[in-house]
């Protein structure tokens, strides 16, 4: 199960399941009203996500078409988290499904596009991008304050809405003990988030055991900083190029080995250099988890760079 989930988190390959199953349509109609339109957003390893317009509003619909049952975990997490993002959920012939309210807005990755594409010299662009970075960190800090960790922070897992940042994809999040039923925890052990954004301790455990200890605030902070590094430079904070490989073209085990080994941070692409920003992110990418700042501190440090 874990390996299927791992592949799902780290691959863009797809299957041919592009239609919302009829029984899911009926179940959604029963709770949210008839489906007006639906658009496929992504389909990786038979876990498609659709944007679905219903009478009660737009939702992101995630359906298990592969029989792994994986959406059951996110469903359990969102029920326990109780942040109001779960719109509807159910089961269909091949597995569980869930629908979360759709957040309108750009992801943090999209908010950084003007900087990545236009260079750091455009201070107006940089200011807006740094504000988005601060908001992302604060959303994570708020989650941590509630006793939860996300476990799979990525540049596209924060959406900047008019009402503030919203985190998405809680498939591998952890709350206070007992938040998620034991049988669900047992069925879906933690295997890290997206490989290139995992901290060294997660990468190392995955190599040794094929499983990782549960995500923590410190693993989240590393992945948060790695996500922001990706938003800024388009690359990852591991110098794969020094090993003669393009970013993420290496096999998973090799990437994990390099992350665990602790390569120096890559050079910042020309035109994007910013010593203060590099320093702040480098601090949060510290090899030793206890040397990393808390998410709130990272927000404060980035806010100081933005001023
Ligand atoms: N609630 C939501 N609001 C807006 N966009 C969403 C929402 N949920 C998912 N998405 C979009 O769908 C993509 C995939 O969703 P995600 O929950 O990350 O699933 P997975 O990574 O399992 O495919 C996101 O990157 C985002 O573009
Ligand atoms: Mg995701």
Domain ranges of the chain: 2-101, 106-306
- Token couple for 11: 């691959």
- Token couple for 208: 């040794």
Q: How far apart are CA 75 and CA 118, in angstroms?
A: 40
Q: How far apart are CA 106 and CA 36, in angstroms?
A: 23
Q: Is the CB of 49 under 6 A from ligand 1?
A: yes
Q: Distance between terminal CA atoms of the chain? A: 46
CB atoms near residue 177 (< 10 Å): 8
Same fold, 2-101 and 106-306: no
Q: Is the CB of 109 under 6 A from ligand 1?
A: no
Which atom of ligand 1 approaches the CA of 59 most closely? 1
Q: Is the CB of 122 under 6 A from ligand 1?
A: no
Q: What percent of the chain has pLDDT over 70?
A: 94
| Contact (CB, 8 A) for 2 and 188 | yes
Which atom of ligand 1 approaches the CA of 74 most closely? 17
CB atoms near residue 94 (< 10 Å): 18
Whole-number Å distance, alpha carbon 204 to ligand 2 midpoint, is 22
| Residues making up the chain, counted from first to last | 307
Residue nearest to atom 20 of ligand 1 (CA): 169
Number of alpha carbons in the 13 Å side-chain half-sphere of residue 306: 18
Q: In angstroms, what CA-CA distances link 50 with 38, 57, 153?
A: 6, 14, 21
Q: Give, for 97, the enclosing helix (H) or strand (E).
A: strand 95-101
Strand partners, 47: 44
35-64 residue pLDDT tens: 999 999 998 878 899 999 999 999 999 999
Q: Is the CB of 44 under 6 A from ligand 1?
A: yes
DSSP-derived secondary structure letter, 47: E
Task: Return the best residue to mutate from 154, 168, 194, 223 for the ligand 1 pocket (most ligand atoms within 8 A of CB).
Answer: 168
CB atoms near residue 104 (< 10 Å): 12
Selection from 94, 74, 95, 96 nearest residue 86 by Cα: 74
Strand partners, 37: 53
- The position carrying tokens 């601090």 is 283
Written as tens digits, the pLDDT of the chain (307 aa) is: 333 333 333 444 445 567 899 999 999 999 999 999 999 999 887 889 999 999 999 999 999 988 888 899 999 999 999 999 999 999 998 789 999 999 999 999 999 999 999 888 878 899 999 999 999 999 999 999 999 999 999 999 999 999 999 999 999 999 999 999 999 999 999 999 999 999 999 999 999 999 999 999 999 999 999 999 999 999 999 988 888 877 678 899 999 999 999 888 999 999 999 999 999 999 999 999 999 999 999 999 999 999 8
Q: Is the CB of 31 under 6 A from ligand 1?
A: no
Whole-number Å distance, alpha carbon 269 to ligand 2 midpoint, is 26
CATH fold of the domain at 2-101:
Phosphorylase Kinase; domain 1 (3.30.200)
Residue nearest to atom 11 of ligand 1 (CA): 41
CATH fold of the domain at 106-306:
Transferase(Phosphotransferase); domain 1 (1.10.510)
Q: Is the CB of 268 under 6 A from ligand 1?
A: no
Q: Is the CB of 11 under 6 A from ligand 1?
A: no
Look at residue 58 and give its three-state secondary structure: strand
């Amino acid at each position: 199960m874990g390996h299927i989930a791992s592949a799902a988190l780290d691959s863009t390959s797809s299957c041919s399941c592009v239609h919302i199953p009829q029984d899911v349509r009926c179940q959604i109609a029963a709770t949210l009203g008839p489906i007006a339109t639906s658009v496929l957003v992504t389909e990786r390893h038979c876990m498609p996500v659709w944007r679905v317009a219903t009478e009660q509003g737009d939702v992101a619909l995630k359906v298990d078409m592969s029989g792994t049952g994986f959406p059951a975990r996110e469903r359990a997490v969102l029920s326990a988290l109780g942040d109001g993002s779960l719109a509807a959920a159910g089961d269909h012939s091949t597995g569980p499904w869930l629908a979360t309210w759709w957040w309108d807005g750009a992801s943090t990755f999209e908010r950084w596009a003007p900087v990545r594409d236009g260079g750091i010299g455009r201070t107006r662009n940089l200011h807006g991008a740094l504000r988005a970075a601060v908001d992302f960190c604060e959303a994570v800090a708020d989650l941590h304050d509630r006793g939860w960790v996300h476990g799979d922070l990525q540049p596209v897992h924060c959406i900047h809405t008019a009402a503030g940042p919203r985190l998405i994809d809680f498939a591998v999040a952890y709350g206070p003990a007992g938040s998620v039923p034991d049988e669900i925890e047992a069925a879906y052990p933690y295997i890290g988030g997206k490989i290139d954004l995992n901290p060294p301790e997660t990468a190392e455990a995955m190599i040794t055991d094929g499983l990782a200890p549960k995500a923590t605030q410190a693993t989240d902070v590393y992945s948060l900083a790695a996500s922001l590094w990706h938003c800024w430079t388009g690359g990852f904070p591991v110098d794969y190029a020094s090993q003669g490989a393009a970013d993420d073209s290496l096999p998973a085990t090799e990437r994990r080995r390099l992350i665990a080994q602790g390569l120096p941070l890559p050079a910042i692409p020309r035109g994007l250099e910013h010593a203060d920003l590099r320093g702040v992110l480098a601090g949060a990418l510290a090899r030793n988890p206890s040397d990393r700042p808390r998410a709130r501190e990272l927000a404060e440090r980035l806010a100081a760079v933005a001023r």
